[in-house]
Structure 1
Protein backbone atom coordinates (compact mmCIF):
# COMPACT_ATOMS: atom_id res chain seq x y z
CA UNK A 1 0.00 0.00 0.00
CA UNK A 2 1.22 3.48 -0.87
CA UNK A 3 -0.14 6.67 0.69
CA UNK A 4 -0.24 9.54 -1.80
CA UNK A 5 -0.74 13.18 -0.91
CA UNK A 6 -1.93 14.87 -4.08
CA UNK A 7 -1.48 18.61 -3.73
CA UNK A 8 -2.49 21.47 -5.98
CA UNK A 9 0.04 24.29 -6.37
CA UNK A 10 -0.42 27.62 -4.63
CA UNK A 11 -2.14 30.60 -6.21
CA UNK A 12 -0.79 32.43 -9.24
CA UNK A 13 -1.66 35.86 -10.61
CA UNK A 14 -3.49 34.13 -13.46
CA UNK A 15 -5.56 32.06 -11.02
CA UNK A 16 -6.62 35.29 -9.34
CA UNK A 17 -7.90 36.85 -12.58
CA UNK A 18 -9.28 33.58 -14.04
CA UNK A 19 -6.84 33.33 -16.94
CA UNK A 20 -6.20 29.84 -18.32
CA UNK A 21 -2.65 28.58 -17.73
CA UNK A 22 -2.35 25.01 -18.96
CA UNK A 23 1.27 24.43 -19.99
CA UNK A 24 2.19 28.12 -19.79
CA UNK A 25 4.75 28.48 -17.01
CA UNK A 26 3.31 31.00 -14.54
CA UNK A 27 4.97 31.42 -11.11
CA UNK A 28 3.26 31.70 -7.74
CA UNK A 29 2.14 35.16 -6.68
CA UNK A 30 2.69 36.50 -3.15
CA UNK A 31 -0.45 34.77 -1.88
CA UNK A 32 0.63 31.52 -3.50
CA UNK A 33 4.02 31.69 -1.81
CA UNK A 34 2.29 32.28 1.52
CA UNK A 35 0.01 29.31 0.89
CA UNK A 36 2.98 27.09 0.02
CA UNK A 37 4.73 27.97 3.27
CA UNK A 38 1.57 27.28 5.28
CA UNK A 39 1.14 23.98 3.46
CA UNK A 40 4.73 22.95 4.20
CA UNK A 41 4.32 23.81 7.88
CA UNK A 42 1.13 21.72 8.06
CA UNK A 43 3.01 18.71 6.70
CA UNK A 44 6.32 19.10 8.51
CA UNK A 45 5.48 16.51 11.16
CA UNK A 46 4.51 13.89 8.57
CA UNK A 47 7.43 11.86 7.27
CA UNK A 48 7.40 11.85 3.49
CA UNK A 49 9.57 9.44 1.54
CA UNK A 50 9.54 11.38 -1.73
CA UNK A 51 8.24 14.60 -3.25
CA UNK A 52 7.42 14.64 -6.95
CA UNK A 53 6.21 17.71 -8.82
CA UNK A 54 5.11 18.81 -12.24
CA UNK A 55 7.99 20.65 -13.87
CA UNK A 56 5.97 23.87 -14.21
CA UNK A 57 7.31 26.43 -11.79
CA UNK A 58 4.08 26.99 -9.87
CA UNK A 59 4.21 23.32 -8.82
CA UNK A 60 8.00 23.28 -8.33
CA UNK A 61 7.85 26.34 -6.07
CA UNK A 62 5.07 24.82 -3.97
CA UNK A 63 6.89 21.48 -3.70
CA UNK A 64 10.11 23.29 -2.79
CA UNK A 65 8.60 24.67 0.40
CA UNK A 66 7.51 21.17 1.45
CA UNK A 67 10.88 19.68 0.52
CA UNK A 68 12.77 22.31 2.51
CA UNK A 69 11.03 21.38 5.77
CA UNK A 70 11.22 17.66 5.00
CA UNK A 71 14.94 17.73 4.20
CA UNK A 72 14.24 16.19 0.79
CA UNK A 73 14.86 17.15 -2.81
CA UNK A 74 12.06 17.52 -5.35
CA UNK A 75 11.84 15.22 -8.35
CA UNK A 76 10.20 16.93 -11.33
CA UNK A 77 8.19 15.18 -14.03
CA UNK A 78 6.59 16.86 -17.08
CA UNK A 79 4.11 13.98 -17.16
CA UNK A 80 2.40 15.61 -14.18
CA UNK A 81 1.75 18.90 -15.97
CA UNK A 82 -1.68 20.44 -16.22
CA UNK A 83 -3.71 19.63 -19.30
CA UNK A 84 -2.63 21.53 -22.38
CA UNK A 85 -5.44 23.72 -23.69
CA UNK A 86 -3.88 24.80 -27.00
CA UNK A 87 -5.21 28.18 -28.15
CA UNK A 88 -7.26 28.59 -24.96
CA UNK A 89 -4.06 29.11 -22.95
CA UNK A 90 -3.45 32.70 -21.93
CA UNK A 91 -7.08 33.68 -22.41
CA UNK A 92 -9.48 34.86 -19.75
CA UNK A 93 -12.24 32.33 -19.19
CA UNK A 94 -14.82 35.03 -19.86
CA UNK A 95 -13.36 35.59 -23.35
CA UNK A 96 -13.46 31.99 -24.51
CA UNK A 97 -17.14 31.70 -25.56
CA UNK A 98 -16.73 34.80 -27.72
CA UNK A 99 -13.38 33.95 -29.33
CA UNK A 100 -13.91 30.19 -29.72
CA UNK A 101 -17.67 29.53 -29.51
CA UNK A 102 -17.70 26.01 -31.02
CA UNK A 103 -14.64 24.72 -29.18
CA UNK A 104 -15.82 26.29 -25.93
CA UNK A 105 -19.25 24.66 -26.29
CA UNK A 106 -17.63 21.24 -26.79
CA UNK A 107 -15.45 21.83 -23.74
CA UNK A 108 -18.46 22.76 -21.61
CA UNK A 109 -20.26 19.66 -22.85
CA UNK A 110 -17.43 17.51 -21.39
CA UNK A 111 -16.73 15.83 -24.71
CA UNK A 112 -13.72 13.62 -23.84
CA UNK A 113 -12.41 13.80 -27.41
CA UNK A 114 -12.94 17.51 -28.05
CA UNK A 115 -9.94 19.24 -29.59
CA UNK A 116 -8.70 22.74 -28.81
CA UNK A 117 -7.81 25.39 -31.38
CA UNK A 118 -4.08 25.60 -32.15
CA UNK A 119 -1.90 27.75 -29.93
CA UNK A 120 1.63 28.01 -28.60
CA UNK A 121 1.29 24.43 -27.34
CA UNK A 122 -0.58 21.47 -28.84
CA UNK A 123 -3.82 20.87 -26.94
CA UNK A 124 -4.83 17.55 -25.36
CA UNK A 125 -8.23 15.92 -25.31
CA UNK A 126 -9.44 14.97 -21.86
CA UNK A 127 -9.02 11.30 -22.80
CA UNK A 128 -5.33 11.73 -23.67
CA UNK A 129 -4.76 13.93 -20.63
CA UNK A 130 -6.39 11.44 -18.25
CA UNK A 131 -4.32 8.58 -19.66
CA UNK A 132 -1.08 10.56 -19.30
CA UNK A 133 -1.77 11.65 -15.75
CA UNK A 134 -2.87 8.27 -14.44
CA UNK A 135 0.09 6.49 -16.01
CA UNK A 136 2.45 8.77 -14.09
CA UNK A 137 0.57 8.73 -10.78
CA UNK A 138 0.34 4.93 -10.81
CA UNK A 139 4.01 4.64 -11.75
CA UNK A 140 5.01 6.48 -8.57
CA UNK A 141 2.45 4.60 -6.50
CA UNK A 142 4.08 1.32 -7.54
CA UNK A 143 7.63 2.64 -7.23
CA UNK A 144 7.12 3.77 -3.64
CA UNK A 145 5.10 0.80 -2.43
CA UNK A 146 4.71 0.84 1.35
CA UNK A 147 5.72 4.50 1.63
CA UNK A 148 4.16 7.95 1.79
CA UNK A 149 4.75 10.39 -1.05
CA UNK A 150 3.60 13.86 -2.05
CA UNK A 151 2.77 14.68 -5.66
CA UNK A 152 2.45 18.41 -6.28
CA UNK A 153 0.61 19.20 -9.48
CA UNK A 154 -2.46 20.98 -10.84
CA UNK A 155 -6.23 21.07 -10.55
CA UNK A 156 -6.77 19.00 -13.66
CA UNK A 157 -4.34 16.35 -12.43
CA UNK A 158 -6.17 16.10 -9.12
CA UNK A 159 -9.48 15.81 -10.94
CA UNK A 160 -8.13 12.89 -12.98
CA UNK A 161 -7.16 11.07 -9.78
CA UNK A 162 -10.56 11.78 -8.25
CA UNK A 163 -12.37 10.39 -11.30
CA UNK A 164 -10.16 7.30 -11.32
CA UNK A 165 -10.76 6.65 -7.62
CA UNK A 166 -14.52 7.13 -7.98
CA UNK A 167 -14.62 5.32 -11.35
CA UNK A 168 -16.44 8.24 -12.93
CA UNK A 169 -16.77 8.51 -16.71
CA UNK A 170 -14.68 11.15 -18.43
CA UNK A 171 -17.76 12.98 -19.69
CA UNK A 172 -19.34 13.37 -16.24
CA UNK A 173 -19.53 16.95 -14.87
CA UNK A 174 -17.04 17.74 -12.17
CA UNK A 175 -18.47 17.24 -8.70
CA UNK A 176 -15.71 18.44 -6.37
CA UNK A 177 -13.91 21.62 -5.40
CA UNK A 178 -10.15 21.77 -6.01
CA UNK A 179 -8.49 24.52 -4.01
CA UNK A 180 -5.02 25.99 -4.39
CA UNK A 181 -2.56 24.40 -1.93
CA UNK A 182 -5.12 21.78 -0.86
CA UNK A 183 -4.09 18.36 0.49
CA UNK A 184 -5.91 15.39 -0.99
CA UNK A 185 -5.07 11.97 0.46
CA UNK A 186 -5.21 8.74 -1.51
CA UNK A 187 -4.05 5.19 -1.02
CA UNK A 188 -2.90 2.81 -3.72
CA UNK A 189 -3.52 -0.85 -3.06
CA UNK A 190 -4.10 -3.90 -5.24
CA UNK A 191 -3.73 -1.85 -8.39
CA UNK A 192 -6.38 0.73 -7.46
CA UNK A 193 -6.40 4.17 -5.91
CA UNK A 194 -8.98 5.31 -3.40
CA UNK A 195 -9.61 8.55 -1.53
CA UNK A 196 -8.93 8.90 2.18
CA UNK A 197 -9.53 12.66 2.45
CA UNK A 198 -10.38 15.37 -0.06
CA UNK A 199 -9.82 19.11 -0.05
CA UNK A 200 -8.00 19.73 3.23
CA UNK A 201 -7.34 23.47 3.49
CA UNK A 202 -7.33 23.77 7.28
CA UNK A 203 -3.87 25.32 6.98
CA UNK A 204 -5.24 28.17 4.83
CA UNK A 205 -7.70 30.98 5.23
CA UNK A 206 -10.61 29.31 3.45
CA UNK A 207 -11.97 32.65 2.27
CA UNK A 208 -8.79 33.20 0.24
CA UNK A 209 -8.51 29.72 -1.29
CA UNK A 210 -9.48 29.64 -4.97
CA UNK A 211 -11.13 26.69 -6.63
CA UNK A 212 -9.60 25.18 -9.74
CA UNK A 213 -11.30 27.18 -12.46
CA UNK A 214 -12.72 24.25 -14.44
CA UNK A 215 -15.54 24.30 -11.89
CA UNK A 216 -17.10 26.87 -14.23
CA UNK A 217 -17.87 24.01 -16.63
CA UNK A 218 -20.20 22.18 -14.23
Structure 2
Protein backbone atom coordinates (compact mmCIF):
# COMPACT_ATOMS: atom_id res chain seq x y z
CA UNK A 1 0.00 0.00 0.00
CA UNK A 2 1.34 3.42 -0.97
CA UNK A 3 1.86 5.84 1.91
CA UNK A 4 0.47 9.31 1.21
CA UNK A 5 3.00 12.05 1.91
CA UNK A 6 2.60 15.06 4.13
CA UNK A 7 4.20 18.22 2.74
CA UNK A 8 5.91 19.88 5.68
CA UNK A 9 7.14 23.46 5.94
CA UNK A 10 9.56 24.00 8.81
CA UNK A 11 10.46 27.47 10.08
CA UNK A 12 13.15 28.24 12.63
CA UNK A 13 12.15 30.94 15.11
CA UNK A 14 13.42 34.51 14.79
CA UNK A 15 16.44 35.88 16.59
CA UNK A 16 16.53 36.31 20.37
CA UNK A 17 18.95 38.28 22.52
CA UNK A 18 20.59 35.02 23.57
CA UNK A 19 21.00 33.99 19.93
CA UNK A 20 22.92 37.20 19.32
CA UNK A 21 25.08 36.50 22.40
CA UNK A 22 25.48 32.82 21.38
CA UNK A 23 24.01 31.61 24.67
CA UNK A 24 22.48 28.17 24.91
CA UNK A 25 18.72 28.56 25.23
CA UNK A 26 17.25 25.08 25.31
CA UNK A 27 14.02 25.19 27.33
CA UNK A 28 14.60 28.70 28.64
CA UNK A 29 11.58 30.69 27.52
CA UNK A 30 12.93 33.85 25.92
CA UNK A 31 11.01 36.25 23.66
CA UNK A 32 12.15 37.42 20.26
CA UNK A 33 14.43 40.44 20.04
CA UNK A 34 13.31 43.46 17.96
CA UNK A 35 15.35 41.97 15.11
CA UNK A 36 13.61 38.65 15.59
CA UNK A 37 10.16 40.24 15.53
CA UNK A 38 11.02 41.92 12.24
CA UNK A 39 12.29 38.62 10.83
CA UNK A 40 9.03 36.95 11.86
CA UNK A 41 6.95 39.59 10.09
CA UNK A 42 9.03 39.19 6.94
CA UNK A 43 8.65 35.41 7.06
CA UNK A 44 4.93 35.67 7.62
CA UNK A 45 4.47 37.42 4.30
CA UNK A 46 5.63 34.29 2.48
CA UNK A 47 2.56 32.36 3.62
CA UNK A 48 -0.13 34.62 2.16
CA UNK A 49 -2.24 32.49 -0.15
CA UNK A 50 -0.75 29.15 0.96
CA UNK A 51 -3.35 26.48 1.60
CA UNK A 52 -2.27 24.61 4.72
CA UNK A 53 -4.23 22.21 6.88
CA UNK A 54 -2.63 23.18 10.19
CA UNK A 55 -0.01 25.34 11.89
CA UNK A 56 1.99 23.92 14.78
CA UNK A 57 4.57 25.58 16.99
CA UNK A 58 6.82 24.75 19.88
CA UNK A 59 5.21 26.13 23.03
CA UNK A 60 8.27 28.26 23.84
CA UNK A 61 7.50 31.90 23.17
CA UNK A 62 10.31 32.56 20.68
CA UNK A 63 8.65 29.97 18.42
CA UNK A 64 5.01 30.94 18.87
CA UNK A 65 5.83 34.63 18.49
CA UNK A 66 7.39 33.72 15.14
CA UNK A 67 4.28 31.70 14.29
CA UNK A 68 1.88 34.61 14.88
CA UNK A 69 2.43 36.45 11.55
CA UNK A 70 2.31 33.09 9.78
CA UNK A 71 -1.02 32.32 11.48
CA UNK A 72 -2.39 35.67 10.33
CA UNK A 73 -1.29 34.98 6.75
CA UNK A 74 -2.72 31.45 6.73
CA UNK A 75 -5.89 32.26 8.63
CA UNK A 76 -5.18 29.35 10.98
CA UNK A 77 -4.85 29.00 14.75
CA UNK A 78 -1.52 28.02 16.29
CA UNK A 79 -1.42 24.61 17.94
CA UNK A 80 1.40 24.59 20.49
CA UNK A 81 3.26 21.31 21.06
CA UNK A 82 5.75 20.78 23.88
CA UNK A 83 7.23 17.93 21.82
CA UNK A 84 8.57 20.49 19.31
CA UNK A 85 10.81 22.16 21.89
CA UNK A 86 14.54 22.62 21.54
CA UNK A 87 16.84 20.14 23.25
CA UNK A 88 16.91 20.54 27.01
CA UNK A 89 20.49 21.60 27.78
CA UNK A 90 19.98 21.34 31.55
CA UNK A 91 22.60 23.11 33.64
CA UNK A 92 24.31 24.54 30.52
CA UNK A 93 21.39 26.76 29.58
CA UNK A 94 22.22 30.44 29.64
CA UNK A 95 25.92 29.85 29.11
CA UNK A 96 28.19 30.57 26.17
CA UNK A 97 30.78 28.09 24.90
CA UNK A 98 33.79 29.07 27.03
CA UNK A 99 31.65 29.25 30.19
CA UNK A 100 30.50 25.65 29.71
CA UNK A 101 34.09 24.55 29.04
CA UNK A 102 35.34 26.25 32.20
CA UNK A 103 32.60 25.05 34.52
CA UNK A 104 31.52 21.70 33.07
CA UNK A 105 34.33 20.31 30.87
CA UNK A 106 32.64 16.91 30.43
CA UNK A 107 29.49 18.62 29.15
CA UNK A 108 31.55 20.77 26.81
CA UNK A 109 33.32 17.73 25.37
CA UNK A 110 30.03 15.90 24.82
CA UNK A 111 28.50 18.93 23.15
CA UNK A 112 31.51 19.52 20.93
CA UNK A 113 31.79 15.86 19.92
CA UNK A 114 28.00 15.40 19.65
CA UNK A 115 28.10 12.34 21.91
CA UNK A 116 24.70 10.73 21.18
CA UNK A 117 23.85 9.22 24.57
CA UNK A 118 25.47 11.74 26.92
CA UNK A 119 22.67 13.11 29.08
CA UNK A 120 23.36 16.69 30.09
CA UNK A 121 22.63 16.92 33.83
CA UNK A 122 19.12 18.25 34.20
CA UNK A 123 18.57 17.92 30.46
CA UNK A 124 18.53 15.49 27.53
CA UNK A 125 20.91 13.52 25.37
CA UNK A 126 20.98 14.02 21.61
CA UNK A 127 19.31 10.65 21.12
CA UNK A 128 16.55 11.45 23.61
CA UNK A 129 15.88 14.67 21.74
CA UNK A 130 15.99 12.86 18.39
CA UNK A 131 13.45 10.27 19.49
CA UNK A 132 11.12 12.98 20.78
CA UNK A 133 11.26 14.96 17.54
CA UNK A 134 10.95 12.00 15.19
CA UNK A 135 7.95 10.68 17.14
CA UNK A 136 6.28 14.09 16.88
CA UNK A 137 6.89 14.47 13.13
CA UNK A 138 5.76 10.90 12.46
CA UNK A 139 2.54 11.53 14.38
CA UNK A 140 1.88 14.69 12.36
CA UNK A 141 2.58 12.82 9.10
CA UNK A 142 0.05 10.15 10.04
CA UNK A 143 -2.55 12.72 11.03
CA UNK A 144 -2.03 14.96 7.98
CA UNK A 145 -1.37 12.49 5.16
CA UNK A 146 -1.87 14.24 1.83
CA UNK A 147 -1.94 17.68 3.45
CA UNK A 148 0.40 20.65 3.84
CA UNK A 149 1.44 21.50 7.39
CA UNK A 150 3.56 24.36 8.76
CA UNK A 151 5.72 23.88 11.88
CA UNK A 152 7.64 26.61 13.71
CA UNK A 153 10.41 25.24 15.87
CA UNK A 154 14.09 25.48 16.87
CA UNK A 155 17.57 25.09 15.41
CA UNK A 156 18.36 21.85 17.21
CA UNK A 157 15.10 20.35 15.97
CA UNK A 158 15.90 21.30 12.39
CA UNK A 159 19.39 19.83 12.78
CA UNK A 160 17.92 16.45 13.71
CA UNK A 161 15.30 16.52 10.95
CA UNK A 162 17.93 17.32 8.31
CA UNK A 163 20.07 14.42 9.53
CA UNK A 164 17.10 12.05 9.46
CA UNK A 165 16.18 13.09 5.91
CA UNK A 166 19.74 12.86 4.58
CA UNK A 167 20.91 9.87 6.63
CA UNK A 168 23.65 12.03 8.17
CA UNK A 169 25.17 10.58 11.37
CA UNK A 170 24.17 12.40 14.52
CA UNK A 171 27.85 12.66 15.58
CA UNK A 172 29.01 14.41 12.42
CA UNK A 173 29.80 18.14 12.78
CA UNK A 174 27.09 20.23 11.19
CA UNK A 175 27.92 21.52 7.71
CA UNK A 176 24.49 22.85 6.70
CA UNK A 177 22.81 26.16 7.58
CA UNK A 178 19.99 26.71 10.08
CA UNK A 179 19.40 30.50 10.00
CA UNK A 180 16.76 32.31 12.00
CA UNK A 181 13.41 32.19 10.12
CA UNK A 182 14.97 29.95 7.46
CA UNK A 183 12.21 28.17 5.50
CA UNK A 184 12.55 24.43 4.82
CA UNK A 185 10.23 22.16 2.82
CA UNK A 186 10.07 18.38 3.14
CA UNK A 187 7.89 15.52 1.94
CA UNK A 188 7.35 12.84 4.55
CA UNK A 189 5.74 9.50 3.72
CA UNK A 190 6.33 6.83 6.32
CA UNK A 191 10.05 6.18 6.61
CA UNK A 192 10.81 8.27 3.51
CA UNK A 193 11.78 11.83 4.43
CA UNK A 194 12.78 13.95 1.41
CA UNK A 195 14.02 17.56 1.47
CA UNK A 196 12.55 19.84 -1.21
CA UNK A 197 14.20 23.06 -0.08
CA UNK A 198 16.43 23.96 2.84
CA UNK A 199 17.03 27.20 4.77
CA UNK A 200 15.56 29.71 2.32
CA UNK A 201 16.06 33.25 3.66
CA UNK A 202 15.28 35.31 0.56
CA UNK A 203 12.64 37.16 2.61
CA UNK A 204 15.42 38.62 4.80
CA UNK A 205 17.46 40.16 2.00
CA UNK A 206 21.13 40.59 2.88
CA UNK A 207 20.50 39.53 6.48
CA UNK A 208 19.66 36.05 5.26
CA UNK A 209 23.37 35.17 5.26
CA UNK A 210 23.65 35.69 9.04
CA UNK A 211 23.22 32.73 11.36
CA UNK A 212 23.31 33.17 15.13
CA UNK A 213 23.49 30.02 17.19
CA UNK A 214 25.32 28.55 20.18
CA UNK A 215 26.77 25.57 18.34
CA UNK A 216 29.90 23.89 19.72
The TM-score range, normalised by the shorter chain, is over 0.9
Give the secondary-structure state (helix, strand or coil) at the position aligned to 1:170. coil
Q: Which residue is 1:47 aligned to?
A: 51
Contact 1:180 1:209 in 2 (8 A): no
- Superposition deviation, residue 45 in structure 1: 2.5
Match of 2:117 among 106, 110, 113: 113
1:83-122 superposed Cα distances (whole Å, 9 cap, x missing partner): 00011101123322111112201211111011223xxxx2
Does residue 1:80 correspond to 2:99, yes or no?
no
Contact 1:4 1:187 in 2 (8 A): yes
Does residue 1:56 correspond to 2:53, yes or no?
no
Give the secondary-structure state (helix, strand or coil) at the position aligned to 1:11. coil
Across the two proteins, how many residue pairs are aligned to each other? 212
Give matches, 1:1-218, under 5 Å: 1-117=5-121, 122-207=122-207, 210-211=210-211, 213-214=213-214, 216-217=215-216
Coordinate RMSD, CA, aligned: 1.4
TM-score (norm 1): 0.93
1:121-172 superposed Cα distances (whole Å, 9 cap, x missing partner): x210001000000100111111111111101000000111101101122212
TM-score (norm 2): 0.93
Query: How far apart are the structure 2 equivalents of 1:208 and 1:145?
Result: 32
User: Structure 2 unaligned runs (5+)?
Assistant: none
Query: How far apart are the structure 1 equivalents of 2:151 and 2:111?
Result: 27
User: Structure 1 unaligned runs (5+)?
Assistant: none
- Superposition deviation, residue 211 in structure 1: 2.3
Give the secondary-structure state (helix, strand or coil) at the position aligned to 1:47. coil
